[in-house]
Amino acid sequence: MDALPVAGGGLCAGAAFLAWAVRGRSSSVFGRSVWRGNPHRRAVALTFDDGPSEGTPAILDVLAQYRVPATFFQVGANVDRLPDVAQAVGAAGHSIGNHSYTHPLFCFRSPDFIEADLRRAQQTIRTHTGVEPEWFRAPYGVRWFGMDRAQRRLSLTGAMWSAIGRDWKLDAEAACARLVKGASNGAILCLHDGRELQARPDIGATVEAVRRLVPTLLERGYEFETVSRLVHQ
C-alpha cells in the first residue's frame, strides 16, 4: 500500500490506520477480504481487472495454450458493452468476479451508492454470463464505509492481491518481472484485461506480459488456480 509520509502523534496514527483500512491489502475493516491463498501449496492465482475489452480474447488464447485458469474481475459497464466477450471468459472455464459497475473511487460515497453499484454489476454479469460472482475486487483497491454491508448482502468476499503488475503503465517486460518477483506460494497476481471504462483500450503490454509470465511460472513449478480454489484448498 502507499504509506503516509508522516508518522507519530494521535492524529497521524489515526490517519495511518484509515489509510491502511481503505487500501491495505490485509485490511478487512470495510468488508471481509483476502489477499493470498494457501501458503503451503506451490500455486498462484492469475487475476485480471477492468475487462472485458476487445483485447480479452488474446489473453484467453494464451491461457488456453497453456491450459491454465484465471479469475476475471469484470466491470459491469464493460460487460454491457461487450457481452459476448464476457460470456466467452466464463465459457472458457475461467472464474468471474465483480469489479463494480462504473469503476468508481468508492471513498466518500454513501453505503447506498456502493451497494447499488455492486448489485448492478452482479446482475449484469449474471445476465450475460450466467455466473453469480462470489468475489469482489474494489476499484483501485479502495474500500469504504458501507462496503461490508453491500458485500454481505450480495454474498461477496473481497479479493485484493499479493503482487500487481502495474501493466496499465509499465511495458510487458517490467510488468512480468514485477509479478515473477512477487510470485510465491498462494500469491494472487493482478493484471488488467481492460483499462477502466475505455472502449478499445490498448492492452498490448498486458497480453505480452501474460505470454511471458505463464511459461516462466510453470517452469518454476507453480500451478495456476482460480482465486476460490487457491483460497479454499
* Catalytic site positions: 49, 192
Stretch that binds Zn ion, among 35-43, 133-141, 158-166, 218-226 (CB under 5 A): 133-141
Q: Cα separation of 172 and 166, whole Å?
A: 10
Cell, residue 166? 502495474
- Residue 10: helix, strand or coil by DSSP? helix
CA distance 158 to 136: 5
DSSP letters along 151-181, please?
Answer: HHHTT-EEE--SEE--TTTS-HHHHHHHHHH
Residues 42 to 61: which contact Zn ion by CB under 5 A? Answer: 49-50
Query: With binding defined as CB under 5 A, does residue 37 bind Zn ion?
Result: no
What are the Cα distances from residue 184, in Å, to 26, 42, 226? 16, 7, 15
**From 19-27, 52-60, 61-69, 132-140, span contacting Zn ion (CB under 5 A):** 132-140
Q: Which of 52, 76, 97, 139 contacts Zn ion by CB under 5 A?
A: 139
Q: Does 117 participate in binding Zn ion (rule CB under 5 A)?
A: no
Q: Give the up-direction half-sphere exposure of residue 79: CA atoms within 13 A in the CB hemisphere.
A: 31
If one asks whether residue 208 binds Zn ion (CB under 5 A), the answer comes out as no
For Zn ion (CB under 5 A), the number of binding residues is: 3
Verify binding: residue 167, Zn ion, rule CB under 5 A: no
Cell readout for 63 is 491461457
Q: Name the residue whose CB lies closest to Zn ion.
A: 49
Q: For Zn ion, which stretch binds (CB under 5 A), given 3-11, 12-20, 59-67, 138-146?
A: 138-146
Q: Should residue 158 be labelled a site residue for Zn ion when binding is judged by CB under 5 A?
A: no
Contact residues for Zn ion, defined by CB under 5 A:
49-50, 139
